[in-house]
Amino acid sequence: MDLGSLEITGGVPLHGEIGIQGSKNAVLPILVACILGEGICVIENCPQIRDVADTLEIMRHLGCLVQAANGTVRIDASCVDTFETGGKEAARIRSSVLFLGALLGRMKKAMLPLPGGCAIGERPIDQHIAALRQLGARFYLEEKIMADASDLKGGRVRLAMPSVGATENAILASVLAPGETIIEHAAQEPEIDELCEFLRLRGAQIGRTVEGNICIQGGRALRAVRYRMKSDRIVAGTYLLAAVATRGQVTIKDFPCRELDALTSTLRAIGVSVACIEDRIEVNADRPLRAISYLETSPYPGFPTDLQSPMMAVLCRARGESCICETIFENRFRTVAELQKMGAKIHTEGRCAVVKGVPTLVPARLTAPDLRGGAALVIAALQTNGTSVIQNTGYIERGYEDICRDLCGLGAKMRWGM
């Protein structure tokens, strides 16, 4: 589906210093939250990626005036005049479902295309719908999602699972709903807290209780603000893993150390030296790597599902057998077949994969199966002594501004295909 290719010649240990782009998973709900009030919001350090471009296009369809240049986005949402997200972009990106909550808040109605499954799994939206129903929304599901919330009001929202997107949708709807909302079993991911921080700046009363619930006093008009995005922990983790995979020595600036504790402690366990000093991390991976007996993905603060494939690419050459279990998305092992083309020894059984470390990987012609799986193949290709080609790199561009620019800055030999 997605075109584009990367040519990578591996065998060079990465070295040097790198900064990190703004967070994709935080900016998507924050952009959507710009439609909750009038005036011009300015978002700085906005990652220049495909998912952001698609989100901005949906906002233009809704009547927003949007200007984007060099990572700064200005959004004037004064003229939002429709509750229908038309256009191919809404059907293309999963996160368009966040417009549901925001439109119900602002317009009291919403109409969206039904989201399908995607490369990493079915990704149903039952939790989103259940949460919004608990705030008074009524749904009509046919070829599209139609929702009406003429008497939207605050209330108790109990999520059956801590879904990131459903928590964000409940927040986006309840900020303009009069009364108190408490979201129980809310997702704990830092991107949710960044959304809350943005909304607080806009004048919303929103915070987390000690139990981790989200509490909102809704119904206040929001003001326009200027906000600077924090760095993307998944991109930071990906580049850290690329450094480790190539046995490199790299410093990453703006590294969210506390938010990536699950990754750094896993790296220490396999023999990597990592030192977090304030908001920088120094990694030195010149010693041989050991396998990890068991690693499972889980909601924050557990090991992030988005770094599971990149971690697997590193473990392909660690000494011994590693067992990785994926508990969040059912279809995150499509990377395995590609890694096997490079000589990786991986056996999957259901949601678990056993990776038997091999001394070397060989170059191959590869196809990115999804966004993070594509990044994992880049990490794998950097470990070979030879040239690999990765196709379908449009997936990678959905989340990484320019993975080629960034890794070449650390000495990698790679270039975009013609």
What is the smallest separation between the CB atom of 23 and ligand UD1, expressed in angstroms? 9
Q: Which residue's CB is nearer to ligand UD1, number 164 or number 376?
A: 164
Among candidate residues 118, 323, 325, 408, the one labeled active-site is 118
Q: Which residue's CB is nearer to ligand UD1, number 94 or number 247?
A: 94
Which chain residues interact with ligand UD1 by CB under 6 A?
Answer: 25, 28, 94-95, 121-128, 161, 163-166, 187, 189, 191, 305-306, 328-329
Q: Which residue's CB is nearer to ligand UD1, number 30 or number 224?
A: 30
Distances (CA, A) of 8 to 189, 378, 409, 417: 33, 8, 14, 10
Q: What's the number of CA atoms in the CB half-sphere (13 Å) around residue 316?
A: 34
What is the smallest separation between the CB atom of 127 and ligand UD1, expressed in angstroms? 3
Q: Which residue's CB is nearer to ligand UD1, number 169 or number 246?
A: 169
What is the smallest separation between the CB atom of 283 and ligand UD1, expressed in angstroms? 23
Q: 144-177 in b/e burial notation, b at 16+ Cβ within 10 A? A: ebbbbbeebebeebebeebbbbbbbbbbbbbbbb
What is the smallest separation between the CB atom of 89 and ligand UD1, expressed in angstroms? 14
What is the smallest separation between the CB atom of 27 and ligand UD1, expressed in angstroms? 9
Determine which helix (DSSP H) or strand (DSSP E) holds 227, and give its type and residue range.
strand 226-228
Q: Tokens 């703006």 — which residue?
A: 254
Say how far residue 170 (Cα) sits from the centre of its chain: 19
Percentages helix, strand, coil for the chain, rounded to the nearest 5? 35, 25, 40
Has 46 been annotated as catalytic?
no
Q: Which residue's CB is nearer to ligand UD1, number 34 or number 250?
A: 34
Nearest to 125, CA basis, from 165, 152, 158: 165
* Contact predicate 234/304, CB 8 Å: yes
Sheet strands side by side (includes 295-296): 295-296, 321-325, 352-356, 345-349
Q: Which residue's CB is nearer to ligand UD1, number 132 or number 175?
A: 132
Q: Give DSSP secondary structure letters for 52-121.
A: HHHHHHHHHHHT-EEEEETTEEEEE-TT---SB--HHHHHH-GGGGHHHHHHHHHHSEEEEEPP--BTTB
What is the smallest separation between the CB atom of 232 and ligand UD1, expressed in angstroms? 10
- How would you class 232 by CB atoms within 10 Å of its CB: exposed for 0-12, middle for 13-18, buried for 19 or more? buried
* Contact predicate 279/256, CB 8 Å: yes
Tokens of 334: 């499509």
What is the smallest separation between the CB atom of 318 and ligand UD1, expressed in angstroms? 24
Q: Give catalytic residue positions.
A: 118
